[in-house]
Amino acid sequence: MMNEQTGAHKDAADNYEIAWKYSRKNQPSIGYKLAFNYLKSKRLTDAIDIAQFILQRYPDNIRVRKDILEKARLMLK
């Protein structure tokens, strides 16, 4: 999305929240983008929540585990 490219991660997260809701949380790519933008806007616990939700349904999703979950946990320390 354009907001991500301009560094407006909060606005991008707002848009992805809507997309995530309307996809009924069934599109892991949208969830990834939402969690990524949460991470970039320092909403770490929200990023972790989305990542864990995705990993419950798609446990083999290494990208979410490495790019979102592990980074967010390290940033919390």
Kindly report, residue by residue over 21-30, the tens digit of the pLDDT: 999 999 999 9
- The fold of 7-76 is 1.25.40
Whole-number Cα distances in Å, 27 to 19, 21, 74: 9, 10, 26
pTM value surpassing 0.85: yes
67 has pLDDT over 90: yes
Which amino acid does the sequence have at 65?
Answer: R
Q: Which residue ranges make up each domain of the chain?
A: 7-76
